[in-house]
Structure 1
Amino acid sequence: MSKDIRISPLTAQAFAPFGDVLNCDGDPDKMINAGLCGRFHDRAKVDVGDGRVGISLFRSELRQLPYQCDMVERHPEGSQAFIPMSMDPFLVIVADADLTPQAFLTAPGEGINFHRGTWHGVLTPLSGPGLFAVIDRIGDGANLEEHVFDTPYRVIS
């Protein structure tokens, strides 16, 4: 038996307790490159504590709905950003301090940055190549905690 959670659209306001939404909404902060490129400046706080910033590439298997979420994880030593390398939306699962999960769907090309210590589901692309640039902390110390739910959640649209 599982508990159902319904997917919500990802908005900066709804996601604020968990992290930052990375997108090009609104007007650029600055035009550069002879006016041919809009810079959407400083969209996320990268928090690496006493580590260093690392940029990695992740290739994840595609998932489908309904999706069973039986585990969340968090990184107590730093933030973690996922930036899709395609225009395909992906599923984002987060949980608050009492480990109640919520599910969001990104807009095409939109990324997210989890704040340090935010409980979140695993990388969950629903279509496309499942290729992401990941910006997170590289350094000493245990930076991964996992929680397995006694009763899994079923994510539905």
Structure 2
Amino acid sequence: MTTITPIPLTAEGFAPFGDVIELGTKAFKINDGMCDRHHDLAQLEFLEGKAGISLFQAVPRELPYAIDLVERHPKGSQAFIPMYLTSFLVIVAPDENGTPGTPLAFLTNPGQGINLQRNTWHGVLTPLQSPGLFAVIDRIGDDTNLEEHIFETQYVVDSPG
């Protein structure tokens, strides 16, 4: 068994896998100065199909958390935006010649979302508190856009240090 300690989610640390969606420096005023628009926060990419918005409601998980399955979507990016100010666990793995390498775990701050780049190995949606409600922006199409991998080595995410 290999233990993984989650690290805080930052734009720099997550860059090889996608974008962190959060309030930042790309804001400008709209609505007669009464609203800040934090603009163009993720690089969405879809091959064929179309972009769609869905709602996912996931059961909260607890740490330590065993990682047994990762997946990827070769035809589109996938953004997860929490609908409540709660944290969630983000598990990703580098691609090593078509299979996932050793996973990494990130812990979001309340209010942070993510956008996974197209073809990025990632764990399942893993909220840590209720309600596990997320807006998801991803590719909608009639063909298959999912590859799954089950690890032979057991990885466990422990509590942050």
TM over 0.5: yes
Q: Determine which of 70, 86, 89 is the counterpart of 1:88.
A: 86
- TM-score (normalizing by structure 2): 0.93
Identity of aligned residues (%): 59
For residues 35 and 88 of structure 2, the distance between their equivalents in structure 1, rounded to whole angstroms, comes to 26
**Is 2:11 the counterpart of 1:8?**
no
For the 8 Å contact 2:20–2:112, the answer to whether it is kept is yes
For the 8 Å contact 2:89–2:105, the answer to whether it is kept is yes
Q: Name the count of aligned residue pairs.
A: 155
Task: List runs of 5+ in structure 1 lacking aligned partners.
Answer: none
User: CA RMSD for the aligned pairs?
Assistant: 0.9
Q: How do 1:91-102 and structure 2 match up within 5 A?
A: 91-98=89-96, 99-102=101-104
Residue 73 of structure 1 aligns to a residue whose secondary structure is strand
**Segments ≥4 residues shifted beyond 2 Å:** none
Q: Deviations over 1:18-70 (max 9, x none)?
A: 000000024x5210011111011100011111110010000000100000001
TM-fit CA distance, 1:139:
1.0
Q: Deviations over 1:44-103 (max 9, x none)?
A: 011111110010000000100000001100000000000000000100000001321000
- TM-score (normalizing by structure 1): 0.96
Residue 32 of structure 2 aligns to a residue whose secondary structure is coil
For residues 38 and 20 of structure 2, the distance between their equivalents in structure 1, rounded to whole angstroms, comes to 12
What is residue 22 of structure 1 aligned with on the other side?
21
